[in-house]
Amino acid sequence: MKFTNRQFGELEFEDNHVVMFPEGLIGFERCRKFLIVDDETTEPFRWLVSVEDGGLSFPLLDPALLLPGYATDTADGAGKTVFVVATLRAAGGNSTVNLRSPIVIDNGARTARQVILDDEGLPLQFPLGPPSPAPAGR
Amino acid sequence: MLILARKAEEEIRIGDNIVVKILGIHNGQVKIGIDAPRDTRVVRGELYREIQQANVEASRADRDAAARAAAGLKRPT
Interchain contact, B54 vs A44, CB within 8 Å: no
Closest to B66 (Cα-Cα) out of A21, A37, A78: A37
In a domain, residue A136? The reply is: no
Residue A25: its chain B contacts at CB < 8 A? Answer: 55
CB atoms within 10 A of CB A103: 22
Q: Kindly state whether residue A82 falls inside one of the protein's structural domains.
A: yes
pTM: 0.85
| Residue A132 belongs to a domain | no
How do residues A7-34 score in pLDDT, each as one tens digit? 999 999 999 999 999 999 999 999 999 9
Residue A98 has pLDDT above 90, yes or no: yes
Terminal CA-CA length for chain B? 54
**Total domains, chain A:** 1
Is residue A137 very low, low, confident or very high in pLDDT (cuts 50, 70, 90)? very low
Report yes or no on A130 lying in a domain.
no
Read off the pLDDT of residues B6-50 as tens digits, 9 standing for 90 and up: 999 999 999 999 999 999 999 999 999 999 998 788 889 999 999
CATH of the domain at A36: 2.30.290.10
pLDDT bin (cut points 50, 70, 90) of residue A118 is: confident
Question: Which residue range forms the structural domain that includes residue A67?
Answer: 2-124
Percent of chain A with pLDDT over 70: 89
Domain presence at residue A50: yes
One-letter amino acid at A138 equals R
Distance from CA of A28 to the nearest CA of B (A): 8
Q: Alpha-carbon distance A106 to B76, whole Å?
A: 33
> What pLDDT score was predicted for residue A96?
94
Chain A residues within 8 A of B52 when measuring between CB atoms? 26-27
Query: Is A57–B59 a contact, with Cβ atoms under 8 angstroms apart?
Result: yes
